[in-house]
């Protein structure tokens, strides 16, 4: 397809300390006032579009106007209903929400367990407890992986996250669930409060919001095999069939993907997929880049800060 220009903003947590979304977890996010300030800038400079506009463009049925912007939100956390949705509805805007395909009563993903435990124990505290619970063989693997990620320039926090989410993901998932129960309580109870509920999703879709896929357990797609990747995509498609008609969009967990990802998505009814690569020009509907809006100050829109405004 022809190259097209579109500024896609990516958000995760939008919350203030002590509000209903943060709920004493200590997990930080973009302050609500900063989010509003960014929207002020972006809506003045860009034509805001919704997912159906982009979907019709990708299917060759509609042209995008010049200078367009799409808002996206990952993980389907409660912030999106409590803080984001009321603001978008009041402003007459739409968002594309990439929610995990989870059912009530299921646990947190590994990524989100890490968020909670980092907030409670700190980086060094979590790493120390994690290390003490590893076997010698697991410690050897950890150290090899640690040298690999350090050589690639990862920060100490991202080294830990990469090892826990990739090299030792199976071990970390079980170990951190045990640690979660010891330090924070019921993982499933907290998960049910932390993620969007079916009723919240229904209300959001009834008021102009749209949903896309983001997998079931949030793995790195460039780390798991094709069968696991297909299972995660299928879970997203099954969940989306209960929310809105396809075809749908997908956001790669962590921005990770491999050469098979687009075809696996196509077979399940997806027509677009979003990465975490910072770009506003796109030539492939399954590798649409996004700008991380949480990295910028409230005085500047993300596009001003990247020189793409």
pLDDT in tens, 233-252: 999 999 999 999 999 999 99
Predicted pLDDT at 225: 95
Residue 1, pLDDT above cutoff 90: no
308 falls in which pLDDT band (50, 70, 90)?
A: very low
Q: Which CATH superfamily is domain 4-102+197-305 in?
A: Glycoside hydrolase/deacetylase (3.20.20.370)
Whether the Cβ atoms of residue 286 and residue 267 lie closer than 8 Å to each other = no
**Neighbour tally for 152: CB within 10 Å:** 10
pTM value is 0.94
309 falls in which pLDDT band (50, 70, 90)?
A: very low
CA 273/CA 284 separation, integer angstroms: 9
Predicted pLDDT at 33: 96
100-114 per-position pLDDT tens digit: 999 999 999 999 999
- If residue 36 lies in a helix (H) or strand (E), which one and from where to where? helix 32-45
Predicted pLDDT at 294: 83
69-89 per-position pLDDT tens digit: 999 999 999 999 999 999 999
The encoded tokens of residue 185 equal 């309580």
**C-alpha neighbours within 13 Å on the C-beta side of residue 6:** 30
Predicted pLDDT at 298: 55
Give, as one character, the DSSP assignment of residue 216. S
CA 93/CA 192 separation, integer angstroms: 27
Predicted pLDDT at 299: 54
Residue 142, pLDDT above cutoff 70: yes
34-63 per-position pLDDT tens digit: 999 999 999 999 999 999 999 999 999 889
Residue 65, pLDDT above cutoff 60: yes
Residue 307, pLDDT above cutoff 50: no
Q: For 152, list phi and psi in degrees, rounded to 5.
A: -90, 0
- If residue 156 lies in a helix (H) or strand (E), which one and from where to where? helix 156-162
CA 2/CA 174 separation, integer angstroms: 46
Whether the Cβ atoms of residue 215 and residue 232 lie closer than 8 Å to each other = yes
Residue 141, pLDDT above cutoff 70: yes
Q: What is the mean predicted confidence (pLDDT) over 162-178?
A: 97
DSSP secondary structure, 247-285, as one string: -EEEE-GGG---TTHHHHHHTTTEEEEE-S---SEES-T
Give the sign of the dihedral formed by CA 70, CA 74, CA 77, CA 79.
Answer: negative
CA 89/CA 68 separation, integer angstroms: 19
300 falls in which pLDDT band (50, 70, 90)?
A: low
Q: What is the dihedral of CA 151, 155, 161, 162, to 10 degrees?
A: -20
The encoded tokens of residue 134 equal 């590893």
Predicted pLDDT at 295: 80
Predicted pLDDT at 302: 56
- Average pLDDT of the chain? 94
2 falls in which pLDDT band (50, 70, 90)?
A: confident
> Residue ranges of the domains in the chain?
4-102+197-305, 110-189
């Amino acid at each position: 397809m022809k190259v097209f220009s579109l500024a896609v903003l990516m958000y995760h947590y939008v919350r203030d300390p002590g509000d209903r979304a943060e709920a004493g977890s200590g997990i930080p996010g973009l302050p609500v006032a900063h989010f509003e300030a960014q929207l002020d800038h972006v809506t003045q400079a860009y034509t805001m579009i919704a997912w159906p506009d982009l979907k019709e463009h990708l299917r060759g049925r509609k042209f995008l106007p010049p200078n367009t912007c799409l808002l996206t939100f990952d993980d389907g956390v409660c912030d999106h209903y409590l803080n984001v949705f009321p603001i978008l509805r009041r402003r007459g805007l739409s968002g594309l929400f990439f929610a995990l395909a989870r059912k009530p009563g299921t646990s947190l993903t590994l990524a989100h367990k890490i968020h909670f435990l980092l907030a409670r124990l700190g980086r060094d505290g979590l790493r120390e407890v994690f290390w003490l619970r590893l076997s010698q063989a697991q410690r050897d693997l950890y150290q090899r992986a640690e040298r690999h990620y350090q050589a690639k320039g990862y920060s100490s926090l991202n080294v830990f996250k990469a090892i826990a989410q990739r090299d030792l993901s199976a071990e970390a998932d079980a170990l951190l669930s045990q640690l979660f129960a010891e330090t924070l309580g019921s993982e499933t109870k907290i998960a049910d409060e932390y993620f969007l509920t079916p009723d919240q999703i229904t209300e959001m879709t009834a008021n102009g919001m749209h949903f896309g896929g983001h997998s079931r357990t949030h793995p790195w797609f460039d780390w798991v095999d094709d069968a696991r990747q297909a299972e995660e995509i299928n879970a997203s498609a099954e969940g989306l069939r209960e929310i809105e008609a396809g075809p749908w969009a997908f956001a790669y967990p962590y921005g990770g993907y491999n050469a098979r990802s687009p075809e696996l998505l196509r077979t399940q009814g997806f027509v677009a997929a979003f990465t975490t690569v910072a770009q506003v020009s796109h030539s492939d509907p399954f590798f649409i880049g996004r700008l991380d809006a949480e990295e910028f100050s409230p005085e500047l829109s993300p596009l001003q800060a990247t020189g793409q405004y």
